[in-house]
């Protein structure tokens, strides 16, 4: 694991706070902050796992930390062979964490028990500990310090095994070779030590400032021809304070080459470095370098020999705040650490403040050269004590969420216009015609209003207001009309309103029905009236189904409780009202008589309309009896057309009404469900 | 690297932690809980599992600290053994074989070498409390057959037995029996009201004994707590009532000093009764789930409650929860099945009521519960709650769809579907669309179209109302905001049959919806019905498309036990077989499909490719119980099994959940390999850190330690010497019948053990005597006696050692030396 650096005061000390991911599957992230506290976070759910304050945290702040290699749980079994019990999934446990302090002591902290395990002091360092490395096999611990010494500790006895002078200046970094027999140390120069004899094996020179990180990048030599002695041919990486280059070195059998083999260039001083070890020759080394300027640089490179030009990163990751409002610019969020997950395809990013960092798993894609993640960490400061105990997360439920209730468009599939089949062109043409008719409507409006003024002085204002309101979509005007409770007034208004306003009125009513339940109560009266009075007109409309689809769904969902009963009720009401209406109309002149003269359509067109209606009727998904009645209706309509033709000649009002009412009786069957809402 | 072993079924975490009362260690640092066949040792500070004590071959049913050595723990199990553990190192010390199925374990300080267990003798529901004498022996496995019955006809639950001051109380139904150890008699107290009123729920549920006084607390089904006193008299006994719980009292515990009584029940409120009075009550509410058990640490600083949702809460003395040990939540039924969150790779299933739990399989711990319903959960028996019935992840974890329902009566179904979007900015789910009553009847299936190329996220819901609905994400922007929302795009049905399953093909081009016995295939572009398959072999229970090279196949498993495979190109049945499939899961990383079938003996696993009717792998009897759900979890790092039979485990791991909600999986590693450490154990010695307290006391103690150490070291030096003494070996190796009587041998033998004189110390003493001889005459006799004593006490070791080995001349000198005045020593 890569290690961060320590104190802040010293200009030559590395940037960043000491932090590290736990080995194996990065379950935990340990961070020693400047206030001397150690915090361990769970990476999977971004939860503070534990907090520990060393007793001497003010005098000796933590300068470096390292996780002990995972150990398997002690499983002493005297009767191992007999046992068939099944082991629990994860048996290896991450436990000890070594902390180096500014006063030279080393603390071993047990994260499982949550307490200090032991303290390594006697015979150790006299000055700030710069780096700690665990030996992967034998439980030894290596530390280096500003006092120029390297110490080998025996953690079992907590005593110094060996202490030797590592450099003429302070030793800043350590790394143990993959085979565990060599040790790299960096002071003024990088030295490779043989651990058994503590003798220098190789020297490397190249960095001008103290080396802050050392890492072996490969475990196998690039060429497999010569016998592998454990270290020759391996590459390692070094990064230094204030240095924007990371150097790669190769341990060679002959001792002549001392310079770096190649280098990676980054934008600022590296704060945290992690890499995936390449296990074989073909597999590239993946390198993630967190820089001081809050950028993560990712490199992917197969290490094979020299490369003079410094390599630039394959991918850069930045994390920024969303920026409140339009004016403020997004600010970069500092990144504390980045570690590769075990699948090598995703990266764990730790960002935000060290007090409350956010840990996120980011999937890496090789394509993008630059990733900018917008993250809102403003609410991270909210106390999380409650969630720490209950482990409950509450997803956000705000008013911005869309709510779909039965009847609202979107809840059910929208009823689309009948699928255009062979006569696509024709239908298009018809649409065009419809559009033109808007002008006609405007024209008709004037005529109608005039007429109404003349003929019907008592309710003159209401139909006019209504039509005007619908045309202009004036909310107040509509309110004035629609919020009346007088049933008779409603009836008369509906009866006298122009036909072209029926569909807009129905749409307006639908909208209001979806709204507040109180207003819906009033709207139902209107709806009932409109449907009973203008059923005949509606049944003639070719595109009725798509236009009133939502209304149909709305009513369908509202009458669901006693569906059959309300069906029957609706039908009966319709019959009764039609019968009474026809009886009444016998003695009355119809105000819309003249409008009927507008019929100029050719019969062929009418037929096509019917066909469309038939098709669209199928979409209604209704009972069989409805379909039957539709057929009847079709027949009726044809009759009606003929009759209408004759109408024009005859101009006999009384007869005309009769026929019309008859037609309404039959033709309404497809609107039955709509009428059923009336009882609500 | 991996040894080719046979694939075994292994339990994968999440076993029941709340089966028995948890036990604290003497210093409250650790807490022990039973967990299936194991005992888990957790740290109370960090919630982490420190050790897993494994060795029992069946469910562990009881744990108790050894009253005579607080670093040891007894555990008993259904396998008929009592085991003694060293929990600090996690080592099994001894096994006592009792032979009977043990249901609970109790230890008492006064009983020297015996423990109490509940066993089942003879008939099914007749249980006895017996004391088992644990023989002392050095061997690992000891037979403990010496049983003596204490109480007969008791309740099997350990909550119904309590030990107090030389009494043992047991409750069952309507009576309390108290056994007096001294008198060896049993008294029985029956609650009178139980006879008269029909619905007086006076049944005893639990019992606890006061640690100091003669007082027994009993909990009752109607929520009352009775405190019994004077029970050593059959006539004059009294009891007082404490009543707060409205429902059954689940458990009772006295604090260590006995000043307060803790009780808990379904209300999930921990009640502390101070001084056993009704007025002084303290509460710790909102603990999340029914309190099953309460226990108190011997040090008295911690309590803990075990809850029905498989968690243990560690609570401070001042009633503040400090730690939660949470296993896989097992309270509710699993309706959602097992899913894998593509983002966190966690296993997702029903958790706490109304929550989805995210469980990390790698770390074997719960990550968090996601509160979907967001309504206060009322813990009450018989309430019909809103249940989270379906959930699905879509689009790489960017969308989560959940369905919740509540049905009080046949006609009153409440349904709600919520669609949550993962907000990357805040790293959490945000509700996007809420749909009330998406269907008129229960939703039977929910699936996202997870094809890579699909532009608009698509969700399909199938319902019993005979429709399936296709929901798509559309633009919902208006002048105020930019937004996206889900709307219904298409409603499909097939002859009013109930839609039972739905699934998308891998590329998202086809949607298969099963309507009872018929499978319909729809084009996802135009939502046209493409073709139907009908096998007339019962309702379709599972439906899935083949993947990768097998994408032209569609598999359906029916309730009549037929597994069919249709070829989508020829629209014909490719093959079918008779298999009663309970679980069918496709592997996202390969063509493989796992099917678990149910037979009378157990469940069998079949892994096959749709293209071949012959299975790749069969494992019989993976579980005795019915397997309810299964899922393939992609591995982070692929394994490399070379043998053909295990190749299906290379890229994914198969997890399944049985009816009793134990999560199982397959492993090829042998148990030995799992147990033996691959790397050397890192055992660092604990060295005490210096604290201010240490500075005060430490020096003093250090001196003492040094003294002890010195003595100890000198002993250590002597030890090798004793081995070389011929007299010992002679004595030990001669047969007993040849040896002379002990009285003869004794002095000689003891003499042989004495150290030969050390010249240095002798010289010193001689020098001393020389200088002090001068003052000899001045002193009185009384003082002489006094100094002699000092000499004796100070130099006992040295003196005795020397006395016997001094030569005659020296002995004379010593006699003189005894008369020497040492009064100056006292002056020093």
Query: What is the residue-wise DSSP string for A60-111?
Result: S-EEEEEEPPPEEPP---TTTTT--PPPPS--EE--EEEEEETTS-EEEEET
A385 in contact with B, Cβ within 8 Å: no
Q: According to the model, what pLDDT value does residue A651 have? A: 41
Q: Residue B530 has which token pair?
A: 């493409």
* Preferred mutation among A57, A78, A83, A86 to probe B, highest tally of B CBs within 10 A: A86
Let me know if residue A82 belongs to a domain: no
Show the CA angle centred on residue B428, arms to residues B425 and B430, nearest 5°: 95
Which chain A residue's Cα is nearest to B362? A90
Q: Give the pLDDT of residue B782.
A: 46
pTM of the complete model:
0.74
User: Token digits for B246?
Assistant: 């409205």
| Sign of the alpha-carbon dihedral angle for B769, B771, B772, B778 | positive
- A165 and B CB contact within 8 Å: no
Half-sphere exposure of B799 (CA within 13 A, CB side): 13
Which residue from B minimizes the CA distance to A359?
B427
Q: Which residues of A touch B362 (CB under 8 A)?
A: 25, 27, 90
Flag whether A608 is in a domain. no
Check whether residue A184 and residue A306 sit in a common domain.
yes
Beta strand spans in B146-200 (E): 147-154, 161-163, 167-172, 175-180, 185-190
The contacts of residue A582 (CB under 8 Å, 6+ apart) are A657, A658, A661, A662
Instruction: Give the integer Cα–Cα distance in Å for A499 and A596.
Output: 10
User: Is the model's pLDDT at A631 over the cut of 60?
Assistant: no
The answer to whether the Cβ–Cβ distance between B363 and A137 falls below 8 Å is no
Q: Tell me the chain A residues in contact with residue B48 when contact means C-beta distances shorter than 8 Å.
A: 111-114
Name every chain B residue with its beta carbon within 8 A of the beta carbon of A396.
423, 426, 428-431
Q: How far apart are CA A611 and CA A609, in angstroms?
A: 5
Q: Do B10 and A87 touch (CB under 8 A)?
A: yes
Residues A347 and A474 in one domain: no
Cβ <8 Å between A85 and B637: no
Give me the pLDDT at residue A204, please.
Answer: 85
Among the listed residues B504, B380, B386, B405, the one whose alpha carbon sits nearest the alpha carbon of residue B452: B504
On whether both A466 and A317 belong to a single domain, the answer is no
- Give the domain-ending residue among A374, A394, A413: A374
Residue B92 forms contact with A (CB below 8 Å): yes
Q: What is the pLDDT of residues B132-187, one digit of tens each?
A: 988 888 888 888 888 888 888 888 889 999 998 888 999 988 888 998 888 888 88
Residue with tokens 């553990």: B85
- Domain ranges for chain B, please list them: 385-425+439-669
For A110-124, A442-456, A614-628, which range has the lowest pLDDT when averaged over its residues? A614-628
CA A601 to CA A540: how far, in whole Å? Answer: 12
Closest CA to A455 of A599, A652, A588: A588
> Which chain A residues have a beta carbon less than 8 Å from that of B672?
80
CB contact residues (below 8 A), chain B span 17-76, against chain A: 29, 37-38, 43, 45-46, 48-52, 54-57
Tokens coding A403: 């709510």
Q: Which positions in chain A touch B366 (Cβ < 8 Å)?
A: 391
Rounded to 10 deg, the angle between the A563-585 and A653-667 helix axes is: 180
φ, ψ for residue A510 (rounded to 5)? -60, -45
Residue A493 in this model has a pLDDT that exceeds 90 = no
Tell whether B368 is within 8 A of chain A (Cβ). yes
- Contact (CB<8Å) A49/B46: yes
pLDDT of residue A603: 52
**Does the beta-carbon distance from B675 to A77 stay under 8 Å?**
yes
Interface contact A156-B352, CB threshold 8 A: no
Identify whether A405 is part of a domain: no
What CATH number does the domain containing A55 carry? 2.130.10.10
A563 in contact with B at a CB cutoff of 8 Å? Answer: no
> Chain B residues with CB inside 8 Å of A84's CB?
57, 671
Whose CA is closest to A102, among A9, A169, A176? A9
Cβ–Cβ gap B343/A412 under 8 Å: no
Question: In the block, which residue shows the tokens 């209304």?
Answer: A551
What are the chain A neighbours of B91 within 8 Å (beta carbons)? 74, 76
Identify any residues that bridge with B62 across adjacent strands, giving them in sequence order: B76
- Which of chain B's residues have a Cβ under 8 Å away from the Cβ of A138? 680
* Beta-bridge partner residues of B504: B511
Q: Are A393 and B428 inside 8 Å of each other by CB?
A: yes
Q: How much is the pLDDT for B769?
A: 45
Q: Quick one: tokens of A251?
A: 């341990």
Residue A672 lies in a domain: no
CA distance A469 to chain B (A): 23
CA distance A128 to A9: 13
B385-425+439-669 placed in CATH 3.40.718.10 = no
Residue A577 has pLDDT above 90, yes or no: no
Overall average pLDDT of the A594-614 stretch:
49
For residue B403, the chain A residues in CB contact (below 8 A) are none
Size of interface A-B (CB pairs under 8 A): 283
pLDDT of residue A304: 76
Per-residue pLDDT band for A423 (boundaries 50, 70, 90) equals very low
CA–CA distance, B312 with B47 (Å, rounded to integer): 10
Q: How high is the pLDDT of residue B5? A: 55
Within A589-650, residue ranges assigned H as helices are 603-619, 624-650
SS3 B414: strand
Is A370 found in the same domain as A509?
no
Residue A49 vs residues A97, B17, B302, B323, B596: alpha-carbon distances, Å: 14, 21, 20, 11, 39
Question: Is A610 a residue whose pLDDT tops 50?
Answer: no
Q: How far is A612 from chain B (nearest CA, A)?
A: 20
- Give pairs for A377-382: CB < 8 Å, separation 24+: A377/A321, A377/A333, A377/A351, A377/A352, A378/A321, A379/B426, A380/A352, A380/A353, A380/A356, A381/A356
How many folded domains does chain A comprise?
Answer: 2
Amino acid A625: pLDDT:
41
pLDDT band for position A633 (cuts 50, 70, 90): very low
Q: What are phi and psi of A390, to 5 degrees?
A: -85, -20
The parent domain of residue A555 ranges over: 462-569
Indicate the SS3 state at residue B196: helix
Q: Which long-range contacts (CB under 8 A, 24 or more apart) does B717-722 make?
A: B718/B755, B721/B755, B722/B753
Instruction: Assess if residue A500 is contained within a domain.
Output: yes
Subunit contact A411:B488, Cβ cutoff 8 A: yes
Provide CB contacts within 8 A for B738, sequence distance 6+.
none
Which chain A residues have a beta carbon less than 8 Å from that of B431?
Answer: 395-398, 401
Contact at 8 Å (CB) between A369 and B402? no
| Mutation site for B-interface testing, chosen from A74, A95, A563 by largest number of B Cβ within 10 Å | A74
**Residues in chain A, how many?**
680
Sheet holding B249-254, edge to edge: B249-254, B260-265, B270-274, B281-284
**Residue B805 has what pLDDT?**
57
For helices A603-619 and A424-455, the axis angle rounded to 10 degrees is 100
Q: Looking up tokens 């892994």, which residue turns up?
A: B607
Low-confidence ranges of chain B (pLDDT < 50): 1-4, 670-683, 715-722, 759-803
Q: Distances in Å between the alpha carbon of B811 and those of B756, B769, B806?
A: 16, 13, 6
Interface test mutation site (partner A, options B424, B428, B434, B684, max chain A beta carbons within 10 A): B684
pLDDT band at A85 (very low <50, low <70, confident <90, very high): very low
Contact B671 A87 (CB under 8 A): yes
Least confident of A136-150, A315-329, B229-243: A315-329
β-partners of residue A67 are A97
Tell me how close the Cα of B334 comes to any Cα of chain A, in angstroms. Answer: 18
Q: Considering only CA atoms, which of B254, B226, B220, B258 is closest in space to residue B240?
A: B226
User: Which of A374, A401, A434 lies at the terminal end of a domain, its last residue?
Assistant: A374
> Pick from B50, B430, B674: which is nearest to A395 by CB?
B430
Interface pTM (ipTM) of the complex?
Answer: 0.72
* Residue B171, beta-bridge partner list: B176
Residue B683 contacts A where some CB pair is shorter than 8 Å: yes
Helix (H, G, I), strand (E, B) or coil at A320: strand
pLDDT number for residue A630: 43
Q: How confident is the model at residue A48 (pLDDT cuts 50, 70, 90)?
A: confident
> Which DSSP category does B26 fall into?
T
Residues 6+ apart with CB under 8 A from B691: A55
Name all contacts of B473-476 with Cβ < 8 Å and 24+ positions apart: B476/A402
Closest partner residue to B46 among A112, A116, A137, by Cβ?
A: A112
Q: Which residues of B touch A348 (CB under 8 A)?
A: none
Answer whether residue A442 is part of any domain.
no
Model pLDDT, residue A29: 92
Strand partners, B596: B583, B605
**A108 contacts in B (CB within 8 Å)?**
684
Selected residues 52-71 of chain A with any CB under 8 Å from a CB in chain B:
55, 68-71
Both tokens of residue B253?
């515990």
Q: At what angle do helices B726-733 and B692-724 cross, to 10 degrees?
A: 70
**For the residues A599-620, what does the mean pLDDT come to?**
46
- Within 8 A of B13 by CB-CB distance, chain A residues are 88-90
Kind of pairing between the strands at B603-608 and B593-598 = antiparallel
Q: Which of A348, A374, A400 marks a domain boundary?
A: A374
């Amino acid at each position: 694991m890569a290690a961060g650096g320590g104190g802040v005061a010293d200009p030559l000390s590395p940037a960043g706070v000491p932090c590290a991911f736990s080995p194996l599957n990065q379950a935990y992230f340990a961070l020693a902050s400047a206030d001397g506290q150690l915090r361990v976070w769970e990476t999977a759910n971004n939860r503070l796992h534990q907090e520990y304050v060393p007793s001497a945290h003010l005098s000796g702040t933590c300068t470096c930390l390292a996780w002990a290699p995972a150990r398997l749980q002690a499983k002493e079994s005297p009767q191992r062979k007999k046992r068939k019990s099944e082991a629990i999934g994860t048996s290896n446990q991450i436990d000890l964490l070594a902390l180096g302090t500014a006063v030279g002591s080393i603390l071993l902290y047990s994260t499982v028990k949550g307490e200090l395990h032991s303290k390594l002091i006697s015979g150790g360092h006299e000055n700030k500990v710069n780096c700690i490395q665990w030996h992967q096999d034998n439980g030894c611990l290596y530390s280096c310090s500003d006092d120029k010494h390297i110490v080998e500790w025996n953690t079992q006895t907590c005593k110094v095994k060996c202490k030797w002078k590592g450099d003429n200046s302070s030793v800043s970094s350590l790394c143990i070779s993959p085979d565990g027999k060599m040790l790299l140390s960096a002071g003024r120069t990088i030295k490779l030590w043989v651990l058994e004899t503590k003798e220098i094996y190789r020297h490397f020179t190249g960095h001008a400032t103290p080396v802050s990180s050392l890492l072996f990048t490969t475990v196998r030599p690039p060429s497999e021809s010569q016998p592998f002695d454990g270290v020759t041919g391996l590459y390692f990486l070094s990064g230094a304070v204030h240095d924007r280059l990371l150097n790669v070195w190769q341990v060679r059998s002959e001792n002549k080459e001392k310079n770096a083999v190649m280098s990676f260039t980054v934008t600022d001083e590296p704060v945290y470095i992690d890499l995936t070890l390449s296990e074989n020759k073909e597999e590239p080394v993946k390198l993630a370098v967190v820089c001081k300027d809050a950028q993560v640089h990712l490199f992917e490179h197969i290490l094979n020999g020299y490369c003079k030009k410094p390599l630039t990163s394959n991918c850069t990751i930045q994390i920024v705040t969303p920026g409140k409002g339009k004016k403020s610019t997004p600010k970069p969020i500092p990144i504390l650490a980045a570690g590769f997950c075990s699948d090598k395809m995703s990266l764990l990013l730790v960002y935000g403040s060290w007090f409350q960092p956010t840990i996120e798993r980011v999937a890496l894609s090789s394509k993008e050269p630059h990733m900018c993640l917008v993250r809102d960490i403003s609410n991270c400061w909210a106390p999380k004590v409650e969630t720490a105990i209950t482990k409950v997360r509450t997803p956000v439920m705000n008013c911005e969420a869309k709510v779909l209730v039965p009847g609202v468009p979107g809840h059910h599939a929208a009823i689309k216009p009948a699928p255009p089949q062979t006569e696509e062109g024709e239908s298009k043409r018809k649409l065009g015609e419809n559009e033109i008719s808007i002008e006609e409507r405007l024209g008709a409006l004037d005529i109608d209003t005039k007429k109404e003024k003349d003929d019907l002085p008592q309710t003159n204002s209401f139909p006019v207001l209504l039509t005007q309101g619908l045309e202009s979509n004036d909310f107040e005007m509509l309110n004035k009309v629609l919020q009346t409770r007088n049933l008779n007034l409603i009836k008369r208004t509906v009866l006298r309103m122009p036909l072209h306003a029926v569909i807009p009125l129905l749409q307006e009513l639908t909208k209001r029905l979806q709204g507040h339940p109180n207003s819906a109560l009033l709207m139902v009266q209107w709806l009932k009236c409109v449907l009973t009075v203008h059923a005949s007109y509606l049944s003639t409309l070719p595109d009725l189904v798509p236009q009133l689809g939502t209304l149909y769904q709305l009513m369908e969902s509202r009458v669901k409780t006693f569906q059959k009963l309300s069906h029957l009720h609706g039908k009966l009401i319709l019959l009764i009202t039609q019968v009474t209406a026809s009886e009444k109309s016998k003695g009355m002149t119809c105000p819309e008589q003249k409008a009927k003269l507008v019929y100029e359509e050719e019969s062929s067109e009418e037929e096509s309309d019917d066909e469309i209606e038939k098709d669209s009727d199928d979409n209604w998904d209704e009972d069989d009896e409805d379909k039957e009645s539709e057929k009847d209706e079709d027949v009726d309509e044809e009759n009606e057309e003929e009759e209408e033709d004759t109408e024009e000649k005859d101009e006999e009002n009384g007869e005309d009404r009769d026929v019309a009412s008859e037609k309404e009786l039959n033709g309404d069957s497809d609107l039955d469900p709509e009428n059923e809402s009336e009882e609500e | 690297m991996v040894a080719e072993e046979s694939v075994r079924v292994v339990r994968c975490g999440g076993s029941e932690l709340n089966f028995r009362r948890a036990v604290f260690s003497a210093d409250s640092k650790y807490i022990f809980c039973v967990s299936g066949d194991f005992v888990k040792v957790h740290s109370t500070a960090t919630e982490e599992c420190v050790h897993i004590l494994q060795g029992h071959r069946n469910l562990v049913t009881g744990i108790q600290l050894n009253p005579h050595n607080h670093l040891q723990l007894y555990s008993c199990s259904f396998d008929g053994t009592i085991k003694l553990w060293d929990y600090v190192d996690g080592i099994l010390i001894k096994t006592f074989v009792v032979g009977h199925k043990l249901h609970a374990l109790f230890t008492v300080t006064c009983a020297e070498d015996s423990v109490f267990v509940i066993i089942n003798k003879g008939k099914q529901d007749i249980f006895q409390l017996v004391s088992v004498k644990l023989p002392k022996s050095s061997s690992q496995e000891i037979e403990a057959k010496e049983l003596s019955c204490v109480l007969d006809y008791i309740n099997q639950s350990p909550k119904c037995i309590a030990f107090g001051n030389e009494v043992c109380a047991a409750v069952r139904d309507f009576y309390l029996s108290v056994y007096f150890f001294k008198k060896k008699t049993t008294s029985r107290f029956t609650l009178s009201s139980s006879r008269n009123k029909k619905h007086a729920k006076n049944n005893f549920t639990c019992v606890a004994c006061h640690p100091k006084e003669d007082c027994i607390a009993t909990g009752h089904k109607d929520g009352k707590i009775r405190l019994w006193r004077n029970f050593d008299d059959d006539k004059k006994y009294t009891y007082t009532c404490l009543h707060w719980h409205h429902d059954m009292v689940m458990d009772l515990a006295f604090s260590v000093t006995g000043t307060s009584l803790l009780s808990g029940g379904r209300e999930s409120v921990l009640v502390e009764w101070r001084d056993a009075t009704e007025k002084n009550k303290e509460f710790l509410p909102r603990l999340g789930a029914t309190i099953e058990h309460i226990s108190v640490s011997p040090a008295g600083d911690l309590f803990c409650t075990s809850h029905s949702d498989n968690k243990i809460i560690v609570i401070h003395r001042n009633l503040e929860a400090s730690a939660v040990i949470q296993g896989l939540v097992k309270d509710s039924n699993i309706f959602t099945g097992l899913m894998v969150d593509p983002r966190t790779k966690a296993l997702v299933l029903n958790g706490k009521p109304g929550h989805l739990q995210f469980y990390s399989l790698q770390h074997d711990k719960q990550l968090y519960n996601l509160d979907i319903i967001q309504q206060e959960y009322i813990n009450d028996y018989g309430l019909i709650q809103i249940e989270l019935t379906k959930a699905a992840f879509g689009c790489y974890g960017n969308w989560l769809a959940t369905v919740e329902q509540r049905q009080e009566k046949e006609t009153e179904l409440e349904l709600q579907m919520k669609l949550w979007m993962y907000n990357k900015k805040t790293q959490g789910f945000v509700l996007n669309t809420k749909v009330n009553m998406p269907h008129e009847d229960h939703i039977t299936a929910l699936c996202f179209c997870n094809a890579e190329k699909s532009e608009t996220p698509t969700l399909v819901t199938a319902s019993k109302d005979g429709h399936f609905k296709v929901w798509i994400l559309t633009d919902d922007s208006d002048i105020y905001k930019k937004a996206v929302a889900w709307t219904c795009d298409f409603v499909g049905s097939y002859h009013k049959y109930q839609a039972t399953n739905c699934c998308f093909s891998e590329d998202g081009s086809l949607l298969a919806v099963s309507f009872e016995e018929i499978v319909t295939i729809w084009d996802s572009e135009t939502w046209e019905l493409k073709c139907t398959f009908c096998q007339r072999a019962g309702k379709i229970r599972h439906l899935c498309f083949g993947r990768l090279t097998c994408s032209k196949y569609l598999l359906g498993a029916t309730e009549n036990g037929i597994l069919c495979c249709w070829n989508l190109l020829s629209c014909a049945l490719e093959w079918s077989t008779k298999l009663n499939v309970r679980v069918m899961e496709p592997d996202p990383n390969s063509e493989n499909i796992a099917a678990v079938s149910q037979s009378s003996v157990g469940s069998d696993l079949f892994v096959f490719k749709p293209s071949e009717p012959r299975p790749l792998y069969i494992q019989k009897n993976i579980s005795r119980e019915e397997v309810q759900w299964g899922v393939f979890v992609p591995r982070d790092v692929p394994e490399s099994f070379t043998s053909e039979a295990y190749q299906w485990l290379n890229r994914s791991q198969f997890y399944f959940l049985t009816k009793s909600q134990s999560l199982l999986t397959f492993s090829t590693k042998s148990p030995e390999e799992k147990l033996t450490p691959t790397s050397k154990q890192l055992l660092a010695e604990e060295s005490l850190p210096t604290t201010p307290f240490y500075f005060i006391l430490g020096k003093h103690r250090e001196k003492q330690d040094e003294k002890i150490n010195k003595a100890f070291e000198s002993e250590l030096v002597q030890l090798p010497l004793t081995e070389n003494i011929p007299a010992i070996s002679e004595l030990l190796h001669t047969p007993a019948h040849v040896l002379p009587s002990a009285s003869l041998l004794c002095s000689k033998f003891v003499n042989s053990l004495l150290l030969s004189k050390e010249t240095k110390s002798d010289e010193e003493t001689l020098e001393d005597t020389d200088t002090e001889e001068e003052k000899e005459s001045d002193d009185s006799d009384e003082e002489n006696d006094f100094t002699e004593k000092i000499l004796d006490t100070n130099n006992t070791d040295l003196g005795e050692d020397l006395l016997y080995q001094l030569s005659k001349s020296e002995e004379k000198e010593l006699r003189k030396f005894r008369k020497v005045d040492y009064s100056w020593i006292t002056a020093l």
